[in-house]
Amino acid sequence: MSSSIRELFMREEKARKQLISPVLLDNGLTPGQGQAGILNNLLKEDHISQKELSVRCHMDTTTMSRAIDNLEKLGLLNREINPESRRSTLICLTEEGRETAWNIRAAFERLEAIVSKDIPGEDMEIFHRVLLKVCENLEENS
């Protein structure tokens, strides 16, 4: 192989950021802070605890708290008192947040279409399995 895995990861990351960063910025988000993932996860299920959202987004609680604060300042989400436990809050999208989340989701779907262009489905399935294993290997050692 002419390129190391590290070099390929760096090349992929740079190209991906060049495609997605303008979309994030156009929607008022800061690239690299997990805000897009938070919005996407809230589209899947709204009104969830910050702890559950942290798990789903693979973020530590401090980073999650900071990101939620920023998204709340942007008017994209709210914290609501959990009716089942008054000591906890639920995170939910505002209407503007829902619209922004759909914009971001569409951008990531376009990114996936670009990534998988001219790659047969079988190869994408293998790539997905291998990349998932790479993630697991990295996470168990971090």
Sequential pLDDT tens for the chain (142 residues): 678 999 999 999 999 999 999 999 999 999 989 999 999 999 999 999 999 999 999 999 899 999 999 999 999 999 999 888 888 889 999 999 999 999 999 999 999 999 999 999 999 999 999 999 999 999 899 8
pLDDT at residue 108 in the model: 93
Q: What is the DSSP string of 23-62?
A: HHHHTTPPTTSSHHHHHHHHHHS-SEEHHHHHHHHT--HH
Angle 50-57/35-44 helices, nearest 10 degrees? 110
Strand partners, 48: 91
- Output the six-digit token pair for 6: 């590290």
Domains parsed from the chain with CATH numbers: 5-140 (1.10.10.10)
